Structure 1
Amino acid sequence: MSSMEERGEVAAAPGSSSAGLSVGPEAVAAGAGLSGIQEESGMRREASGSGSGPETDPDAPPKKRVRLQEGEAGKLEERLYSVLCCTVCLDLPKASVYQCTNGHLMCAGCFIHLLADARLKEEQATCPNCRCEISKSLCCRNLAVEKAVSELPSDCSYCLKQFPRSGLDHHQSEECQDRLTQCKYKRIGCPWQGPFHELTAHEVDCCHPSKTGIELMGILDEMDQSHRRELQLYNSIFSLLSFEKIGFTEVQFRPYRTDDFITRLYYETPRFTVLNQTWVLKARVNDSERNPNLSCKRTLSFQLILKSKVNSTLECSFLLLKGPYDDVKIKPVIQHHVFSNDANETEYVPLPISDSVECNKLLAAKNINLRLFIFQIQK
């Protein structure tokens, strides 16, 4: 018995703390494996603790992000340019940004141009990418893209330095020392143009302030003629406002098509009554040009038609102005005509808009809303 107890104690010693229990060879192997894992994990903790220092502390701040190199940042800007550019002109938008129902971006100028072209072609305007229908009611502005584009850097066209696009216009017009400027004596004939930092030196050496009165008379005469034309227009408007019979109304031009072999777009208003007479306004694009959609220059002309029968001639002055809710720019021009039963239509006269961009705004709208003034001249 003593020898067996001795063998049991010897067998129990490596695997268990209890001297009186016998342990088999499998338990001994498991115990040896567990001790090996514990030793290995302890060695790892020691190695990590000795090599990394405070970075292993769970309360330590996270590592700082590595900044992009200049080349990588440039590539990022290029990628943003390609993502945020207009799908029509492939340039970054300068003002409003519109998107179709599928999210494709268009700058305001291209969006209006697409709608105007579709109106001239008698087609439904579509997105150039996905061909979904676009209109002012279906498309909306993307303010996030507008803000993102305004923060992208852009080169100044004068000094070639980079500024955020939101502040580039102010820099080029007010701050840039290389911006193009004119001499302050240009009103008396100085033709000099140059960078702003050379302006002071030029004005010191400019010879125009020393011109005689006789030399300045021709320049002053041209200025007086321009001022006289503007003053004549305002005086004419004020004199018309003093007439006894004055009428005005809001008119709405609606698009129609001719019945010719080659259909043409024209506009016409419903009949309206002013000064106890019935009238109609008509308008046409590019004076009925065959394919106005192929031309970049676009104009509108209109005529006033008297639909009522009159017993005597009716002498009137009239002018068209923009409507109360439109942003189109129209210069006031007074037209004059003597209406009768035989001459009840005026000639087509150009609508006094500033450029083709304003014309595209009118064509892109569903209807053209303007305000008409008619002044009856008493004999």
Structure 2
Amino acid sequence: MDEAVGRREGYDEAVLPAPAVIEPDEQPLMKRSRPSGADSDLMSLVDRLSSVLCCTVCLDLPKEAVFQCSNGHLMCAGCFVHLLADARLKEDQATCPNCRCEISRSLCFRSLAVEKAVSELPTTCGYCQQNFPRACLSLHQHEHCHNRPTRCRYWRIGCRWEGPFHEVPTHETTCVHPHKPGGDLMGVLADVDAQHHQEVSPFQDIMQLLSLEKIGYTEVQFRSCRTDDFITRLYYETLRFTVLNHTWVLKARVNDSEQNPNLSSERTLSFQLLMRSKLPAAMDCAFLLLRAPYEDVPLHPVVYRHTFSGESTESPYLPLPITDSIECNRLLAANNFSVRLFLFQVTK
């Protein structure tokens, strides 16, 4: 029996072929080990894509809309309107910084494919250092990140603690502000009331003005013009319009007529209301400018006042209530822009 088994084993050893040795390059794909440099290769690919998809002006990945010239060079929305605004201030034709072809709102168009590609590129959360697609980063940082900066819920009564979101429950269980006596909280509540009053005061003024008897409004368009000086300056002016049975004109200027506003990084617009009718008596007026329909630059509701008379037919130059220089560039990039003017005659 043992001899038979031995002969059987010997037969097997003699007849069965030796197992084939599979070279590493011939191994099935599902069994192949992951290369050690996979992460670095991925990061290299992301870096190469970022260099291809970046804005040709600021050399950064766009955070919003992407425009391209007729030759395909990319510009983020901020740099695009900045180039158009600079050209408007210098009375020149805007050109692509790469190929020098002409650019304008009609000659350039948005590159939706680039915008979608950029939104899928990974980026690192500044709070938890995890990687997310750019399209998901804002939602993660505002709602899901456990390390996002958060205030104590008792900040309205004076708590100044700020820390990561995951530490909020621990802090709030030991926060002393909810246990303070009412007398200690009166100063904080007074500051809260003052801030609230400052925020709602413009709207209260507007509501009171809307109850006046003589109210008028119209939509006007600012058109770009040039001064007659040796060094011309850009300004804006509307056509004459009639409100409250009087003729008016609106003017606007850049950086209060600074000699070279194209060299300034901070840009502002200020406007002036002028009366073109003859006044038999002084006229107290309140007025405000709001965004016109189909315009994309918002204006804050700010009420201005001026007394017009035969000796004072022009209001002083007043700041156009826009947010920042970026919004100013968006207005300058357009040849014309419209606003809605509300005019109130204040009776004493």
Matched, 1:123 2:123: no
Matched, 1:77 2:46: yes
Q: Displacement of 1:157 after TM fit?
A: 0.9
2:156 alignment partner AA: R
Q: Distance in 2 between matches of 1:342 and 1:332?
A: 28
- Output the TM-score relative to the length of structure 2: 0.87
Equivalences for residues 4-153 of structure 1 within 5 A = 69-153=38-122
Distance 1:78 1:231, change over 3 A: closer
* SS across alignment from 1:373: strand
Q: Distance in 2 between matches of 1:299 and 1:176?
A: 37
Matched, 1:202 2:171: yes
Which residue in the other structure is 1:362 paired with? 331
* SS across alignment from 2:248: strand
* SS across alignment from 2:126: coil
Moved more, 182-191 or 299-308: 182-191
Which residue in the other structure is 2:211 paired with? 242
Matched, 1:274 2:248: no
Distance 1:331 1:154, change over 3 A: same
- Output the TM-score relative to the length of structure 1: 0.80
Q: Distance in 1 between matches of 2:29 and 2:168?
A: 53
Q: Which runs of 5+ in 2 are unaligned?
A: 1-19, 21-27
Q: Distance in 2 between matches of 1:354 and 1:302?
A: 15
Q: Displacement of 1:119 after TM fit?
A: 1.2
Q: Distance in 2 between matches of 1:192 and 1:123?
A: 52
Moved over 6 A (4+): none
2:133 alignment partner AA: P
Q: Displacement of 1:73 after TM fit?
A: 2.0
Which residue in the other structure is 2:223 paired with? 254
Which residue in the other structure is 1:217 paired with? 186
1:140 alignment partner AA: F
Q: Which runs of 5+ in 1 are unaligned?
A: 1-50, 52-61
Q: Displacement of 1:70 after TM fit?
A: 2.6
Q: Displacement of 1:142 after TM fit?
A: 0.5
Which residue in the other structure is 2:314 paired with? 345
Q: Distance in 1 between matches of 2:328 and 2:101?
A: 25
Deviation track 1:117-169 (CA, whole Å, cap 9, x = no partner) reads 11112111111101111111111000011111111111111111111111011
Q: Displacement of 1:279 after TM fit?
A: 0.5
Q: Displacement of 1:63 after TM fit?
A: 8.3
1:349 alignment partner AA: L
* SS across alignment from 1:321: strand
Q: How many residues align?
A: 318
1:365 alignment partner AA: A
Q: Displacement of 1:295 after TM fit?
A: 1.5
Q: Give me the CA root mean square deviation.
A: 1.8
* SS across alignment from 2:344: strand
* SS across alignment from 1:112: helix
1:115 alignment partner AA: L
Q: Displacement of 1:263 after TM fit?
A: 2.1
1:204 alignment partner AA: T
* SS across alignment from 2:293: coil
1:156 alignment partner AA: C
Q: Distance in 2 between matches of 1:352 and 1:131?
A: 35
Which residue in the other structure is 2:198 paired with? 229
1:199 alignment partner AA: V
Which residue in the other structure is 1:311 paired with? 280
Equivalences for residues 266-305 of structure 1 within 5 A = 266-305=235-274
* SS across alignment from 1:329: coil
Q: Displacement of 1:306 after TM fit?
A: 0.2
State the structure with more CA Rg: 1
1:217 alignment partner AA: M
* SS across alignment from 1:252: strand
Q: Distance in 1 between matches of 2:202 and 2:148?
A: 36
Which residue in the other structure is 2:25 paired with? none
Deviation track 1:333-371 (CA, whole Å, cap 9, x = no partner) reads 111111112110001111111111111111111112111
Q: Distance in 1 between matches of 2:86 and 2:184?
A: 51
Matched, 1:265 2:234: yes
